Amino acid sequence: MKTKESKRRISKKNRAESEKMIVLEDVSKSYSTGAPALSGVNLTINKGEFVFVVGDSGSGKSTLIKLLLRELTPTTGKVQVNGYDVGRLKRRKVPKFRRNIGVVFQDFRLLKDWNVYENVAFAQRIIQVPTREIRKNVPSILSTVGLAGKYKAKPRQLSGGEQQRVALARALVNQPPILLADEPTGNLDPKNSWDIMKLLEEINKGGTTVLVVTHNREIVNAMQKRVITMKKGVVISDEEKGGYIDED
Amino acid sequence: MRISTFFYTLKQGVISIFKNKWFSLASVATISACLFLFGLFYAILANFQHIVKTAEEGVSVTVFFEEGIEDDRIAEIGEMIQKRVEVSKVTYVSAEDAWNSFKDEYLGEYSDGFTENPLADSANYEIYLKDVSLQGDLVTYLESVEGIRQVNKSEITANTLSGVNALIGYVSVGIIAILLSVSVFLISNTVTIGISVRKEEIAIMKYIGATDFFVRSPFVIEGILIGMLGALLPLGIIYVIYNRVVEYVMVKFQVLTTLLNFMPVETIFATLIPVSMALGIGIGFVGSYITVRRHLRV
């Protein structure tokens, strides 16, 4: 009951001032073996929101991310992201769709043979930004994440926190309307974790919708943002200014 | 595609070759080895066929006329022979010509004792064939022509040569098939090893929103460059060793020099260069295109 109430509260509050960025309508996803990874998930995230998605492993968080990125398609239901009906998207339209979403992963996923500048510039190259503008945009975003001096370094020469900032710069350089962060602090120490979270908050203030999947109880509790809690493929709670729910 | 994107892609392809030097080296070596064998085989085959062809051209049928035949009839027979499809060339050898060449070849200064032409009846047509295997048909025809006394032929040579030609055909198809399957196997293996290293790289690019074309282009360019290199290397080696081998054979088997008629390296390369380049580039293109495709579904 609590879930329903909080959801109603959010939608009532935001209906007037914002449009929907991510909408899941009765989404289920089953793999060929075992129990469904998601069952009957309904979710609406509005433009400009900052949302945490929390839950244990096996809760369906990863499946949710994969559905939003169109790495997977839902078995039933509808996934809508920034106006795209993601489940029905043709394969050749996927690249263009993905440019709406900046992604940050737990393991950074940088191209390890490329230096910092090239890693970030790559995101601009794929949308065919002229070289002249790339030379302006990349240093600018690197200074936003605090790495202006390290543009020539290779990923392995950087600390985990620095690598995650590079990944963040890459995700943001094309100014996508949505930022997805999948356990962005999973491999970082508390200080670096906080720095990354502060950056995400800054980015959110600039108007970007931010969705963070995380295990980090401390951060979730401290930041007082909307928290969606999942368990065994079902949304068990959705609270504005929520906290990390103890399972047991 | 923007020009800057094109150059970027080109640059990435080149960089990638050096970045993955062991993979590149292995690929170039594989393609080189296959194309070297191909080139070697082609050079041998082409020369063999050339030698057989030259020998074939030397095979002739000689026709002698009945005594007292008129010149008009001889000319008529000549025209009839010329019209036959098997015939490539007909030469008239008069009795004087025959005697002169016999004198020169065998008698030299001893020929002075002859006052009249001992080969008075030896006027003949020397007939050269387009295809040795058709000799039998021609001879049967010639024997039925009125005014012809005798037909001299070289049955054994003709049979042997057409047999050798057929054998070369079978052997070449066999060896080319073996070479092709071996090279495809080796290349797909090498490419698969190389690509598994970059599986992650491709996945990352796809997550950021790169199109298949954008992800694939540097790989394909890399494949094409490797293929080109893999073709140029054996071409260079074959070019260097070809003349030496020909020289060696000519010296070692001097007895056979009249029979062994090798093709000049330029003629061999007029065919070998475009075919090798096309094969190398084709293998590189197809290999990289197909292998990357398997990893694009992210």
The per-residue pLDDT for range B201-239, each reduced to its tens digit, is: 888 888 989 988 888 888 889 889 989 999 999 999 999
What mean pLDDT do residues B257-272 have? 83
Is B201 an interface residue toward A (CB < 8 Å)? yes
* CA–CA dist A121, A137 (Å, integer): 8
- In this prediction, residue A184 carries a pLDDT of 93
* CA–CA dist B226, A102 (Å, integer): 35
8-state DSSP, B110: G
Say whether B208 and A125 touch across the interface (CB within 8 A).
no
Q: What is the ipTM of this complex?
A: 0.81
Half-sphere exposure of A144 (CA within 13 A, CB side): 22
Range B158-182 burial, b when 16+ CB lie within 10 A, else e: beebbebbeeeeeebeeeeeebeee
Say whether A97 and B4 touch across the interface (CB within 8 A).
no
Mean pLDDT of chain B: 81
Residues 6+ apart with CB under 8 A from B203: A109, B295, B298
- Facing residue for B5 by CB, picked from A71, A123, A125: A125
Q: pTM for the complete prediction?
A: 0.69
Higher pLDDT: B160 or B66? It is: B66
Q: Which residues of A touch B207 (CB under 8 A)?
A: 69, 98, 103, 109
Q: Which residues of A touch B298 (CB under 8 A)?
A: 71
Q: Indicate the pLDDT class of residue B51, thresholds 50, 70 and 90.
A: confident
- Facing residue for A95 by CB, picked from B5, B201, B210: B210
Interface residues of A toward B, Cβ cutoff 8 Å, are 69, 71, 92, 95-99, 101, 103, 109-111, 113, 122-123, 125-128, 130-131, 170
Say whether B209 and A128 touch across the interface (CB within 8 A).
no
8-state DSSP, A18: -
**Is residue B72 scored above 90 in pLDDT?**
no
Residue of chain B minimizing CA distance to A122: B205
Q: Which amino acid is at B245?
A: V
* CA–CA dist A140, A122 (Å, integer): 15
Q: Which residues of B touch A99 (CB under 8 A)?
A: 208-209
Task: State what percent of residues in chain B have pLDDT above 90.
Answer: 9
What mean pLDDT do residues B34-44 have? 86
* CA–CA dist A248, B81 (Å, integer): 108
- In this prediction, residue A38 carries a pLDDT of 92
Say whether B2 and A130 touch across the interface (CB within 8 A).
yes
Ranges in chain A, pLDDT < 50 = 1-17, 248
Closest Cα to residue A122, out of B282, B95, A113, B77? A113
Question: How close is the nearest chain B Cα to the Cα of A122, in Å?
Answer: 8
Question: How close is the nearest chain B Cα to the Cα of A217, in Å?
Answer: 28
- In this prediction, residue B263 carries a pLDDT of 87
- In this prediction, residue B243 carries a pLDDT of 87
- In this prediction, residue B155 carries a pLDDT of 60
- Facing residue for A125 by CB, picked from B8, B19, B200: B8
- In this prediction, residue A104 carries a pLDDT of 94
